[in-house]
Structure 1
Amino acid sequence: MPDSKRIAELRPSYQEELARGTARFFRPARTDCPWCRGHDLRRRFRTTDLIQGKPGAFVLDACRGCGHVFQNPQLSQEGLDFYYRDFYDGLGAETTAKMFEGNGSRKRFRRSARALRRVALPGRWLDVGTSLGHFCATAKEVLPDTEFDGLDLGEGVEIAAKEGRVKQAYRGLFVELAGEMAGRYDAVSMFHYLEHTPDPHRELAAAHTALAPGGHLLIEVPDPESWSGRLLGRRWLPWFQPQHLNMVPMGNLCGQLRELGFTVEVAERRDAHIPADLVCASWFLLDRLLPRDDAPWLPRRPGRASRAVRFTLVWAALPVLIAVYGLDQLLNPVARRTRFSNAYRVIARREG
């Protein structure tokens, strides 16, 4: 079915939801930090949905005490369902699949699998937030004797099992399912997952439950202390509003893992960096200046002239975006070795 037809079919349901406003998608605003419960908060910025362009405004606050950055007010489950819809599935399923199947993602997945292989050879590995299971399929090339299972909220994890990228699929919330898999896994991974969750403390406790004594937890997340985030402001891709709810500084994460009974074996920024900050910020700026693309959350389809102008200007800007992407790659060796790195990796061993 052509996208234009699919969009037209989805438009009435989106418009019906939006007619009731977006305020109902949020929980009450917090006056304390969800990480340390401190009350000394400051506003980082207010932004919109730069990724899909869905209606709504989002605020990121930071705790002056511990450095935790969080969405405030935070989306409710109903709000998360609305803003996730047609991103990883539906209209966005094909784009998401291409992103994870790309050579850049596969290289990153292999680096992550090798990082764990340097400290352990797991027999059974659970990938939390696995989406379509592409990490598991790539990691299997590095660890052919490891059995990979996947967990996610969306239908992608069931597709991953059907297509053989994971052996067992769990569909649901990790904090609710961890009890039934207690002590089952030698490795649990969370790749750019923890920042999507409303309560990271519970997610880390769930990982402790699912791991066998001596098992390893591998986490990669955006770094809220990155200098790139300060430089690019709200157009820094890892802020990723409205999906990212909690951005945990490395020191906070390592401290919490130790409290739960983990030994932190690796904590580094260099290998987790994803060189795309400048090109994504450039695209966000360009996209704001262009006529809107068609989407079911718009009241009506943009006119033919508007669509033609957008198409023409995107193609005209493509050489510039390619050049900026090249600059990201050129600066990668420097960025990943400095605090411009946009992500970090932690590997921790669960003690007995």
Structure 2
Amino acid sequence: MSTDVAQQVAERRPAYLAELAQGTERFHEPRRTDCPWCGSSRLRVRLRTTDLIQHKPGTFTLDQCGDCAHSFQNPRLTPEGLDFYYRDFYDGLGGKEAEKLFGAESSTKRYLSSARALRSFDEPECWLDVGTGHAHFPALAKQVLPYTSFDGLDLSDGIEEGVRHGRIEEGHRGFLTELAESLAGRYDAMSMFHYLEHSLDPREELRAAKTVLRPGGHLMIEVPDPECRYTKLLGKWWVSYFQPQHLHFVPLANLKKELAELGFTVVGVERREPHVPFDLTTAVALFLNCHFPKADVPWRSKAATPRQLKLRQAAWWASVPLIAVAYGLDRFLPPLLTRTGFSNAYRVIARRGDDK
């Protein structure tokens, strides 16, 4: 750990510990007794876990509806809870690590495939990428759609970076649901890549998308596939569960039905190309990280000692062969896995109706 990072950790520790002294239960809403998608009371526990990535204190439960199969965090985090668990993940202390995991380097092929998929239906004039982060998708999509103007929308300060580096023309910072009216009818294409699962109300986000799109415009959605067979094979180590950030897991049939009811026509569905080949690598890494000496993070009550940090570094170096094997399997197995139900994501492209 660099001196600069160690200093940032030390500076942030008192504020984190003051928050944690009040307990984490206050970060959760009351538990629901019905499904937020269909209203059924037939719920079962799908998953119980902790924060396996940042290791912030707290426990989280995913329930699944017995009628429509929708899965959701229950009890759900409050806005204050979301702020606490998102803090220092995409920005701040965790910014560089998040960039490695979600940045353009690991997503180039998938992003280009997504841009080509929509180009087969339309060559839009202006495109809004919702949840754009640092705007890596628009930067790559310009290779496929050089005459399309790309804007981005996000909550993080990465949106300013995207504008500064010329990856997007305009950046809108805030919630889509709050900005929709001011952007009404402005775009003829919109993308939501791994965004809906983070939202408090996916249906409200879809209604907002309809408001922002022009009649005849296209909406592209990619989300984790809750029907992926890795969910049973890997259990809580399936990284796409991504607790506590992922609040909803929408089965493909549910999303298609909701889009149809909103006046969209689904024109494309893909369950293989959106697969992100990292399930085994991340499962191994998450498991090892839970058993190695803990990192020095500001939500730890005491700073890690130099000996603990050296042991942690040595443990990671010793695990390189195992991680390399998992990485190799992730890279070579997808042609087989994505044909047999192991694809971890799906894509839907829908055309907005011509109604006003």
TM range (shorter): over 0.9
Corresponding position of 2:290: 288
Q: Distance in 2 between matches of 1:24 and 1:224?
A: 28
Corresponding residue to 1:349 among 348, 351, 354: 351
CA deviations on 1:71-111 (whole Å, 9 max, x unpaired) are 00000110000100010000112222334444331111111
- The 3-state SS of whatever aligns with 2:180 is helix
Alpha-carbon shift at residue 160 of structure 1 (Å): 1.1
Equivalent AA in structure 2 for residue 13 of structure 1: A
Q: 1:100 touches 1:134 (CA, 8 Å); kept in 2? A: no
Q: Distance in 1 between matches of 2:98 and 2:167?
A: 16
Q: Distance in 1 between matches of 2:284 and 2:66?
A: 30
Q: Distance in 2 between matches of 1:340 and 1:101?
A: 23
Say whether residues 1:324 and 2:326 are aligned partners.
Answer: yes
Corresponding position of 2:73: 71
Corresponding residue to 1:146 among 140, 144, 148: 148
Corresponding position of 1:40: 42
Equivalent AA in structure 2 for residue 240 of structure 1: F
Q: 1:100 touches 1:106 (CA, 8 Å); kept in 2? A: no
Corresponding residue to 1:227 among 210, 213, 229: 229
Q: 2:100 touches 2:106 (CA, 8 Å); kept in 1? A: no
Say whether residues 1:98 and 2:100 are aligned partners.
Answer: yes
Alignment of 1:108-147 (within 5 A): 108-147=110-149
Q: Distance in 2 between matches of 1:311 and 1:193?
A: 33
- The 3-state SS of whatever aligns with 1:165 is coil
Corresponding residue to 2:59 among 36, 51, 57: 57
Corresponding residue to 1:238 among 237, 240, 244: 240
Equivalent AA in structure 2 for residue 44 of structure 1: R
Equivalent AA in structure 2 for residue 317 of structure 1: S
Corresponding position of 2:301: 299
Q: Distance in 2 between matches of 1:257 and 1:41?
A: 24
- The 3-state SS of whatever aligns with 1:142 is coil
Q: Which runs of 5+ in 1 are unaligned?
A: none
Corresponding position of 2:85: 83
Corresponding residue to 1:156 among 155, 158, 174: 158
Q: 2:189 touches 2:219 (CA, 8 Å); kept in 1? A: yes
Equivalent AA in structure 2 for residue 2 of structure 1: D
The TM-score, its normalising length taken from structure 2, stands at: 0.97
Corresponding position of 1:186: 188
C-alpha root-mean-square deviation of aligned residues, in Å? 1.0
Equivalent AA in structure 1 for residue 314 of structure 2: T
Q: 1:11 touches 1:298 (CA, 8 Å); kept in 2? A: yes
Corresponding position of 1:210: 212
Q: Distance in 2 between matches of 1:39 and 1:101?
A: 39
The TM-score, its normalising length taken from structure 1, stands at: 0.98
Q: Which runs of 5+ in 2 are unaligned?
A: none
CA deviations on 1:101-160 (whole Å, 9 max, x unpaired) are 443311111111111111110100000000111111111111110000000111111221
Please identify, of 94-103 and 155-164, the stretch whose mean Cα deviation from structure 2 is larger: 94-103
Equivalent AA in structure 2 for residue 238 of structure 1: S
Corresponding position of 1:200: 202
